[in-house]
Amino acid sequence: MHNKIFGWLLPVIIVLMTVLVWAVASASAALWVLLPCFIIYALFHLVHLQRLQRWADNSPKGKIPPLEGVGVWKGVLSNLYIREQKLYKRDARQRQAIKQFRRLTEEIPDGVVVLDKNNCIDWCNTKAQEWLELEGNKDRGVPVHNLVRAPDFLTWLNEDPADDAGRFSRTLVLRIPENSGRACMFFRLPFGKKGHILLIRDVSDYEKAAQLRRDFIASVSHELKTPLTVIVGFLETIQDMGDDDVGNKDTRQRYITLMQQQASGMQRLVEDLLILSALESGQHREEEQWFSSALFLRQVHENVEVLSQGKHNIVLKESCGAELFGMVNDLSSALTNLLSNAVRYTPEGGYIEILFSVDEKNRALMTVRDTGIGIAEAHLPRLTERFYRVDRSRSRASGGTGLGLAIVKHVLIQHQADLLIQSTPGEGSSFTIILPATRVQKVIQRNTA
Q: Which of 398, 350, 393 is nearest to 373 (CA)?
A: 350
What whole-number distance in Å separates Cα of residue 9 and Cα of residue 422? 107
By C-beta, is 69 or 404 nearer to ligand ADP? 404
Q: Are 364 and 324 in contact (CB under 8 A)?
A: yes
Residues that bind ligand ADP (CB under 6 A): 341-342, 345, 370, 372-373, 375, 383, 388-391, 395, 400-406, 429
Q: How far is the CB of 395 from ligand ADP (least distance, A)?
A: 3
- Nearest distance from C-beta of residue 226 to ligand ADP, angstroms: 14
Torsional class of 179: left (φ above 0), alpha (ψ -120 to 50), beta (otherwise): left
Nearest CB to ligand ADP, comparing residues 67 and 433: 433
Spatial separation of the C-alpha atoms in residues 324 and 288, rounded to whole Å: 10
Which residue, 144 or 339, has its beta carbon nearer to ligand ADP? Answer: 339
- Considering only CA atoms, give the Rg of the chain: 44
CB of 257 to ligand ADP, least distance (A): 22
Looking at beta carbons only, is 125 or 401 nearer to ligand ADP?
Answer: 401
Compute the least distance from the CB of residue 161 to ligand ADP, in Å. 52
Considering beta carbons, is residue 133 or 377 the nearer one to ligand ADP?
377
φ, ψ of residue 27 in degrees (nearest 5):
-65, -40
Instruction: Provide, rounded to whole angstroms, the least separation between the CB of residue 125 and ligand ADP.
Output: 45
For residue 212, the minimal CB distance to ligand ADP (Å) is 17
Nearer to ligand ADP, 124 or 403 (CB): 403
Distances (CA, A) of 199 to 105, 152, 300, 324: 10, 16, 56, 51
The smaller minimum CB distance to ligand ADP, of residues 352 and 358, is found at: 352
Q: Closest distance between ligand ADP and the C-beta of residue 367, in Å?
A: 12
Cα end-to-end span (Å), the chain:
114
Q: Which residues of 369-389 are buried (b: 16+ CB within 10 A; e: fewer)?
A: bbbbbbbeeeeeeebbbbbbb
Provide the CB-side half-sphere exposure for 136 (13 A, CA). Answer: 3
- Backbone phi and psi for residue 175, each to the nearest 5 degrees, phi listed first: -90, 130
